[in-house]
Each structure stands twice: as structure tokens, then as C-alpha cells.
A and B are shown apart, each in its own frame.
Chain A
Amino acid sequence: MNRIKASELSAALFLILTGILCFISGRSFQTMHRPEPVFPSAGLTATHRLSDYFPPLKNTHGDTEVYIFRGTEEGGNLLVLGGTHPNEPAGLVSSVLLIENIRGKRGNVFIVPRANASGFTHSDPQEGNPQRFAVPTPSGPRLFRLGSRLTNPVDQWPDPAIYINPARQKLSGNEVRNLNRCYPGRADGFLTEKMAFGIMELIRRERIDIGIDLHESAPEYPVINAIVFHENSSELAALALLELQAEGFDIRLEASPVNLHGLSHREWGDHAGIKAILLETPNASHGRLKGKPSSSLIVDGKDKFYAKASRLGWLFVPYGEEGIPLALRVARHLAALKALLGGLAELEPEKAVEVEGMPPPAEVQKKGLGAFLHPPQKSG
């Protein structure tokens, strides 16, 4: 090939190849901008957008839906955040499950299923992940996007060399696109800081009493199967732990480190004074030991490398050959949510929040997620 004389012709040929590569890959990247449909239950009382609380987010990819379920009786206000990290699918799916099933009874529930909407519009380079995963339902598979931990660089670029977050913590530059490092946000900052600020505005304007941020972590990460709590919620977390253990869930408490700033479980408590809780379940698909990433790795959670790592004692959670399926991870989130609401009612009855129609965790585990999800939209 070296002997073939390159000419303008071969350059033009390569230019055409570049065009084809751009077109094919670009079209695939663009499909990530189509959000998965959510079908709220009849109990939905209003849908707001984050930009209703913080207008500068309007017409940006940082804007996102807030689903509101108001109860008929007086009570507290609960905020549930899914999709802070769009590569942690249990957060999104748990939120959607709630939105499609619950009715408010006492107090008000605010659910943001895609907290970092921009993060859902791209995939992490070099992670080899599928763009979507399919949750089986009786009437066919429902597709959800698997996004990136970080805001899409198309929406927020460039990253600084070093990121000093609103809470003055020094972090590596790309954390500037990590919503869970940007709290309490900056009204005039980067897009991700504006999203964080918008969520803080929602918390302030809706007088939220308790905020729950749904996450997942890699099985080799020490904070896993855990309730991470702000010190103002230690009693609540302890009560929830007892309840969860009684139900047979192996779970641990982790106090929010006081020197780790910019995270929801720290800044929601410090800056808005609300009870702040973050939940973690184990997700093999964003770990470093994962085998071939696929929709099934996310939904069925089976991974032979993690099973081996577990046998070798490398993990912070037991990981057998049978895997840790998404249904179990979502059931854990729901069970923890239920236990936390139970604890809240006991500690501060005037702030109690009660909902009806919440899918029972044991049933979710037994019947699968599909039994509680709306059938997929028939494509026309």
C-alpha cells in the first residue's frame, strides 16, 4: 500500500469514508436524544419541569420533568431523585415504577426520574455499553436508555483542568459534569451546576422535608447495599435499617462523610436543612471487572467475572452465579423508601408521607418489573 501513490483521489476517498463514519455513528448517537416514554398513573396531580423552579434551565438539555403526586391529607413533602447518574439504571426504573403506580394519600411526593437529563443523551467512551436495555413486560419489552454518569459534553464543554465545586472541594476536571458533585449548585455556573441549583430551588420552593437520591455502585465499591445518611437523619436511617433487616434485606448504614462536599447527602442537609438520604444497590454493568456489557447484564445482572471476584473475597457484596437482577435492585430501593417513610411517620408524624399503590418489594422480586410497568407504546 505504501507504494501506491497517494493523490487527491485517495484523500477524497478518505474524506468520503469520514463522511460515512460520521453519518452512521452520528445517527446512532442522535437516537439517545429520544427520551423513553413514561406513563404516569391516574394518581398524578401535576407535571412540572425543573425550569419552572429555575427558569434559566428552560430550553436546555438540563431541563427535566418533575412528577407530582399530591395527597388528600396534610403531611410532609418527599423528593425522590432517579437518574442522577444515568448509568445506574435502578434509579431511573425505580422512579418510573413509582410514577406509573402510586397515588398520593398523605403529604406530597415529587419524583424526578431523570435528574441529569443531559447525561441520558450519550454513553461513556470506552465503557462499551449498550445504548438501551430492555425490561420484559407481559406485552413486550420496554426500552430504557443507559446513559453516562456525566453531563453530555455537547451540552457542557470544555471541562476545566481542575474543578472547584460550589462547596469549594477540589476535584478532577470532568467531575464538573457530575451532578452529584455540583451541589448546592450555582445559579450562574456550568449547566450541571445549574441543574443542581434547580433541584435546590425545588427543595426550597416546595418545602421538601426529606430527599432520597437513588443510585447504584460497582460491586467492588465499598459503599454498596447501603443507606448513606446526613447526620440530621441518623435516627431515621437507623429505624429504616431495622425494618429492612426484619424484611430480610442485607443492608448497611454509612454516615455521609463531613469532608466530602458537593454530594446530595451532604449539601441537601447542610444547605436546605432537609433529611438527606442516598441509596446504593450493586450494578455490575458499571464496574471495572464486568464481562461483556449487554442489556441482559443490566437486567439479569449475571456476570461470571463478578461471581469469581466474589468467591475470591474481592467484593463488598455477595455476588453469586445467579447474579443480582434489576428487579431485586429496584425492590431494594422501594423497600428502603417504604422503610424510610415508615420511620418518618414514627419520628415526625406531622411530616408523614403516605402513598397508595406502591409496588410491594417482595412482589416486584417475585413477579418481575414488567408486572408493574405500563405496556410499551406500540410503535406506529
Chain B
Amino acid sequence: MPEWLVFVFLVAVFVLLAMAAKVPIGPALALSALAGALFAGEGPSLRHLVEGAFGYFDTILIILTATIFIKVLEDAGILDTVTALLLRTFYRSRVLLLLAAMLILMFPGMLTGSSTAAILSSGPLIAPVMMKLGLPRLKTGALIVMGGILGMIAPPVNILIMIMGGGVDMPYVGVTLPLLVLIVPLAIIVPLVIGYRDLRVIGREEMMSILPPALGPAYRLRLAVPFIVLVVLMLAPGVTAGRIPDIGIPAVFLCAALVGVFCGRPVNFLKATQKAVAESLPVLSILAGVGMFIQVMTMTGARGWIVMSILSLPSFLLYFGIAVSLPAFGGVSTFGSASIFGIPFMLALISKNALFTSSSLSAIASLGDLVPPAAISARFAAQVVGEPNFFRVLRHCFIPALLQLAAGIGMLLLAPFLDKLI
């Protein structure tokens, strides 16, 4: 059975189920994976299906625990209070507000290398502020996605580079400067492009009238505790060079959530968990389905066929291939794309400075978070701003994403020049 036929079959079954039969994406991916395995003559391959889904088990835990954290903050009234605080501080200046929002959005991603963690933890803080100041819901969603994506690739932690570096024996050292050169301009331009035109400058009166119901001053210091716990637990292992153990992102979120229970209005932790499970399950089942889908693609040789087809493009199309395939495969998994395409591209560009190459490839690959079917970041951002159709948020990410893509490709092309400069 030719590999391309298996691939076409897999995609066709998925499209049929998802579009025509309106099966939710997760089960549709799982069923098409099962059908693909049968079609390729591999039998039901249940072991393979479950094994593939396990590739995302850690991600699933992060998403669940991060959502619990947010639900606790919401129920405790802490989110509203933080929103009020941000409004009071920044309502006078659009530029300052946008830049501050961007930094807050990026921050958790910078520490964890996970855009999901960033979007789920700081997205709900920023979203109400922006919307109250006149930024449309969909554009707010776009700002949150781009913040998460830029946070994921911003130093100190860029997991995409770690994955690609691991494949070519490049230690994770010295990427801070190239990454800053790439990301600082984007982190300034992107929020202005998305928000400058719509954001309103308002007077003090109006600001006071839109403030959400905040908790009283008696809570003030206590409110910061869950955030402090979150940041300290994320930062401590790195700062102390491992003397304080790294308990992993899920445990960090859960600890911060447990602390959050005692820092605002009384919270029913069980109910908060139940809400988090209900809200995140569609995405969790998509991840499980995507894992099964990739496993079947690999076990039937379809993955190899795709990688080969792109790598064998003529060399003048190489940059085009990079710009398309890295984000496109990210539609299945951004980290998977860094490993499956990122490493071969690193090798193809081995004559250039690996620090610049890996930085720009990571910026390009991270855009995969926007690409369907998974489109993890876009889905979560849409959820944060209460938009059921994430494609409507994606539309507003188009120009910022193009800017980021251009910056990435630009750095690849200019690598020899930058190499001499820095």
C-alpha cells in the first residue's frame, strides 16, 4: 500500500467525520486513526493507538491543572480584583497598557516554555481589561494567542530550541541574545498592530464605572499569594541551580490553585475542578486523538513520506518549505513539528550559525499553535474570551503571524550578516 494513499485516506476519513458527520474533532481523529490502521492492513492496533495518545499525557495534565488554577481564581474573586487593579494603573495610556499586557501575557510562557500555560494563566487576567477598554472580543483573543506564542519562544525557556538542539547536539546555551533580537521588536509591534486603533483612552470617571466588583482592601496582600507561589515554584529550580527541586508544571499549578482557595472568597475546590474538566475536555480529547493520528501516520510510513516530500523540494524552495511545513505540521503538534521537521531543517542549514537558525526556526514552528486541526493556543484563547468559534479569533492573528513568519525567515536569510554583527 503506497504511503501517500494511506495519508490521503486518513485525511479523507477525518474530514468526512468532522465536517459531514459533525463528529467532534477528538473522536473524529481517533476514529480516522483506527480506520487508517485497518486500511493499511495493520489490524485495529489498539496498543499503537493508546501509545500515540500517551505522547500528550503530560500536556493534558498541564492543561487540566492550569484550568483548575484559573477556575479557583475566578471563583475566589481574584481575577476580577486583578482586572480592576490593572485598569486603575494603565487606563491613561494605550501604548503602556498594550505593552504591559503583552509582557504579562508572555511571562508564564517565558518561564515554562508552554503557550498553553501562558494563555490559560494570564489570558483571563488581561482579557477583561482589554475588552472593557474597547478592544473587540476577537482582537483580544488574538492578542492573547500572540502573547502566548511569543512567550513560548522567548527566553529563558524555549522548549522548541531544546528539542531541535537535542537532535543536533547543540547545548541550550547562548540563544538568549538571538531570541531577544527576534522577539523584542515583535513583542512591541504585535500588540500595537492588534490593539492600538481600537483601544480607547478614557477618563477617571468612566474607568471607575467599568471596574468589576473587586474584593475589599482587606484581601489586597493575600490576593497576590497564589501568583507568588506560581512564579516562585516556576523560577526557584533555575535560580537555585536545581537545589530546590523542579516539581513540574502540573504540580506548580495545582499548588498555586490550592493556595488560591484560601486567598479570596470561599471556593469549592471540587466544583472548580469539575468546571475545569468540563471546559478543557474538548481540547484534551483532541490531543488524545492527534496522538493516535500521528502514531498511525508513523506506523504506516505516511509520516516518512510527508517529511521526505518536503525535504526533497528543490533548494530554492527550501525556505518556502520551512515557512509552510513547520507551522502546518504544528497543526498536529508544535513540539512534534520541531522534532520531525525542525531537526532535518537544522541539518539542512548546518552551514549557518546554529543559534540563529534554531531561534528563527522556533519562531516559525511556534506559529503551528495557530493551525487547525489542533490549533491549541487559538482554541484556548477563544475560550478565554468566550468565543465558541476559534476561527474568528484566528482571522485577527493573520497579520501578526505573518510578521512573525517574516521575522523568522528574515533572520534565517540574514544569519551570516547577524553573525558578524553580534
B301, A291: Cβ atoms closer than 8 Å: yes
Against A, the Cβ 8 Å flags (1 = close, 0 = not) of B293-309 are 01111111101110110
B18 contacts partner chain A, Cβ-Cβ < 8 Å? no
Interface residues in B312-345 (C-beta closer than 8 Å to A): 312, 336, 339-340, 343-344
B159, A125: Cβ atoms closer than 8 Å: no
Against B, the Cβ 8 Å flags (1 = close, 0 = not) of A103-140 are 00000000000000000000101111101000000000
B172, A172: Cβ atoms closer than 8 Å: yes
Q: Quick one: closest A residue to B341, CB to CB? A: A288
Task: List residues of chain A with CB within 8 A of the CB of B22.
Answer: 2
In the docked arrangement, what's the CA distance between A247 and B311, Å? 35
- Quick check: which of B47-55, B223-231, B364-372 contacts chain A, the rest being far away? B47-55
Q: Quick one: closest A residue to B252, CB to CB? A: A161
Interface residues in A257-308 (C-beta closer than 8 Å to B): 257, 259-261, 288-293, 303, 305, 308
A161, B234: Cβ atoms closer than 8 Å: yes
Task: List residues of chain A with CB within 8 A of the CB of B339.
Answer: 288
Q: Quick one: closest A residue to B37, CB to CB? A: A128
Interface centre among A168, A171, A220 (most CB of B within 10 A): A220
Count B interface residues, CB 8 Å: 65
Q: A128-B298, A160-B248 are in contact. Are A289 and B162 (CB under 8 A)?
A: no
B298, A25: Cβ atoms closer than 8 Å: no
Q: Quick one: closest A residue to B311, CB to CB? A: A314
Task: List residues of chain A with CB within 8 A of the CB of B300.
Answer: 128, 292
A60 contacts partner chain B, Cβ-Cβ < 8 Å? no
Besides the contacts A125-B295, A292-B300, A305-B304, what 4 more A-B pairs have beta carbons closer than 8 Å? A128-B297, A220-B344, A288-B304, A312-B312
Task: List residues of chain B with CB within 8 A of the CB of A161.
Answer: 112-113, 157, 234, 237, 246, 248-249
Q: Quick one: closest B residue to A29, CB to CB? A: B47
Q: Quick one: closest A residue to B340, CB to CB? A: A288
A126, B52: Cβ atoms closer than 8 Å: yes
Shortest beta-carbon distance, A372 to chain B, in Å? 31
Against B, the Cβ 8 Å flags (1 = close, 0 = not) of A1-43 are 1100000000000000000010011001100000000000000
Among B168, B301, B304, the residue within 8 A (CB) of A222 is B168
B282 contacts partner chain A, Cβ-Cβ < 8 Å? no
B50, A21: Cβ atoms closer than 8 Å: yes
In the docked arrangement, what's the CA distance between A31 and B90, Å? 60
B3 contacts partner chain A, Cβ-Cβ < 8 Å? yes
In the docked arrangement, what's the CA distance between A257 and B169, Å? 9
Against A, the Cβ 8 Å flags (1 = close, 0 = not) of B125-167 are 0000000000000000000000000000000010100110011
Q: A29-B47, A126-B295, A171-B162 are in contact. Are A259 and B246 (CB under 8 A)?
A: no
B55, A126: Cβ atoms closer than 8 Å: yes
A159 contacts partner chain B, Cβ-Cβ < 8 Å? yes
